[in-house]
Amino acid sequence: MARFLSVVSRAGLARFVEPVARALLRVGISPNTVTVAGSVGVIIGSVGFAARGHLLVALVIVTVCALTDLLDGTMARLRGSTGKWGALLDSTVDRVSDSAVLASVAYWYATTNQHRAAVAAILCLIVGQLVSYVKARAEGLGFTANVGLAERAERLLIVGVGGLITGLGWKPALEIALWILLALSLVTIGQRMTHVYRQARV
């Protein structure tokens, strides 16, 4: 269901993203520049605001900057330059951005003596990296691992919804979201490992 919603939302956003992508290309801005700028924006939103507990402001900044993930891909497609370097850069800054979000949340929880929630955020950071690593390593070995309940879009959505509800006043929401995310991420790792194991046995 989440993947279906992701596809639908991307299709809807494409109508607005493509004109922006064309305009940026016309003024000489490259897709890779947009990729890096989006990651820098996420880091600013995370470190500058989420780490201080300003979750609603952080959420707005991170969401806007995360949309560059769609924008840079559209620009590369329009320019006809979707290459391996761009794919590597995109994957790398995605990991940096995701880490910045969760590390900032963990820092905020730790500095406000919410240690259980801080542990949840740290564990989500670690396990989230493993989710991505298993897929990348599997593909490097010639397998596919594009399965799982909690891919990147779903992970960001869960954290975003939790942050929004906490920012609006229900304080436990983000911590609950983090524990849910941790469970789903562990399931995802298991799903990907199992998927590769079945391929390896063929």
- Any catalytic annotation for residue 90? no
- What does the angle CA 125 – CA 179 – CA 167 come to, to the nearest 5 degrees? 90
CB 192 within 8 A of CB 134: yes
Whole-angstrom distance, CA of residue 183 vs CA of residue 131: 12
Q: What is the CA radius of gyration of the chain?
A: 18
Tokens matching residue 175: 């911590």
Question: Would you say how long the chain is, in residues?
Answer: 202
Both ends of the chain: CA-CA distance in Å? 29
Catalytic residue from among 69, 90, 94, 98: 94
CB 180 within 8 A of CB 157: no
The total of other beta-carbon atoms located within 10 Å of residue 93's CB is: 22
- Which residues are designated catalytic? 94
